[in-house]
Amino acid sequence: MDYATYFGDQLAAVRQEGRYRVFAEIERQAGAFPKATRHVDGQISDITVWCSNDYLGMGQHPKVLDAMHRVLDECGAGAGGTRNISGTNHHHVLLEAELADLHAKEDALLFTSGYVSNWAALGTLAGMLPNCMVLSDALNHASMIEGIRHSRADRMIFEHNSPEDLDRKLSDLDPDRAKLVAFESVYSMDGDIAPIAEIVEVCEKHNALSYIDEVHAVGLYGPRGGGVAEREGLMDRITVIEGTLGKAYGVMGGYIAASRDLCDFVRTFASGFIFTTALPPAVAAGACASIRHLKDSDAERERQQDRVARVRGALDRMGIPHLPNPSHIIPVMVGDARKCKLISDWLMEHHGIYVQPINYPTVPRGTERLRITPSPVHSDADIDRLLTALSEIWSHCELARREMAA
Name the segment binding ligand PLP (CB under 6 A); options: 33-41, 109-117, 122-130, 272-280.
109-117
Exactly one of 61, 103, 105, 141 binds ligand PLP (CB under 6 A); which one? Answer: 141
- Identify which of residues 83 and 206 has a Cβ nearer to ligand PLP in the complex: 83
CB of 142: closest distance to ligand PLP in angstroms? 8
CA angle 340, 13, 11 (to 5 degrees): 95
d(CA 266, CA 169): 27
DSSP 192-230: -B--HHHHHHHHHHTT-EEEEE-TTTTTTSSTTS--HHH
The yes or no reply on residue 281 touching ligand PLP (CB under 6 A) is: no
- Sole binder of ligand PLP in the list 225, 254, 280, 286 (CB under 6 A): 254
Site stretch for ligand PLP (CB under 6 A), options 107-115, 159-167, 226-234, 305-313: 107-115
| Segment (H or E) for 125 | helix 114-128
Q: Does 382 bind ligand PLP (CB under 6 A)?
A: no
Greatest pairwise CA separation for the chain in angstroms: 64
Query: How many of the other CB atoms lie within 10 Å of CB of 260?
Result: 11
Q: In whole angstroms, how close is the CB of 258 to ligand PLP at the nearest point? A: 17
Q: Count Cβ neighbours within 10 Å for each residue of 221-245 and write b for 16 or more, e otherwise.
A: bbebbbbbbbbbebbeebbbbbbbb
Q: How far is the CB of 283 from ligand PLP (least distance, A)?
A: 12
* CA–CA separation, 116 and 254 (whole Å): 7
Q: Which lies closer to ligand PLP via its Cβ, residue 143 or residue 387?
A: 143
Nearer to ligand PLP, 115 or 265 (CB): 115
Of 105, 169, 179, 247, the catalytic one is 247
Integer angstrom CA distances of residue 182 from 138, 139, 380: 10, 11, 39
When the beta carbons of 182 and 320 are compared against ligand PLP, the nearer one is: 182
Question: What is d(CA 149, CA 187) in angstroms, rounded to the nearest whole number?
Answer: 20
User: Would you say 190 and 216 are in contact if contact means Cβ atoms under 8 Å apart?
Assistant: no
The footprint of ligand PLP on residues 191-250 (CB under 6 A) is 213, 215-216, 244, 246
Regarding 118 and contact with ligand PLP (CB under 6 A), the answer is: yes
Range 33-64 burial, b when 16+ CB lie within 10 A, else e: bbbbebeeeeeeeebbbbbbbbbbbbbbbeeb
**276-307 residues labelled b (16+ CB within 10 A) or e (exposed):** eebbbbbbbbbbbbbbbbbbeeeebbebbeeb
Of residues 57 and 246, the one with the C-beta less far from ligand PLP: 246
Give the DSSP H/E element, type plus range, for residue 135: strand 133-137
Query: Is residue 188 close enough to count as binding ligand PLP by CB under 6 A?
Result: yes
Compute how many other C-beta atoms are within 10 angstroms of the C-beta atom of residue 213: 32
Q: Please report how close the Cβ of residue 227 comes to ligand PLP at its closest, in angstroms.
A: 12
Site for ligand PLP contains 55 (CB under 6 A)? no
Are 265 and 259 contacting, i.e. CB atoms less than 8 angstroms apart?
A: no
Binding-site member from 89, 124, 136, 143 for ligand PLP (CB under 6 A):
143
Position 114 contacts ligand PLP (CB under 6 A): yes
Q: Does 311 bind ligand PLP (CB under 6 A)?
A: no
Q: How far is the CB of 137 from ligand PLP (least distance, A)?
A: 11
Stretch that binds ligand PLP, among 84-92, 110-118, 147-155, 382-390 (CB under 6 A): 110-118
Minimum Å distance from CB 295 to ligand PLP? 20
247 given a catalytic annotation: yes
CB of 345 to ligand PLP, least distance (A): 23
Query: What one-character-per-residue DSSP string does 40-72 give?
Result: ETTEEEEEEE-S-S-TTSGGG-HHHHHHHHHHH
Choice from 115, 119, 158, 249 touching ligand PLP (CB under 6 A): 115
> Annotated active-site positions, please?
247
Binding site for ligand PLP (CB under 6 A): 113-115, 118, 141, 143, 184, 188, 213, 215-216, 244, 246, 254
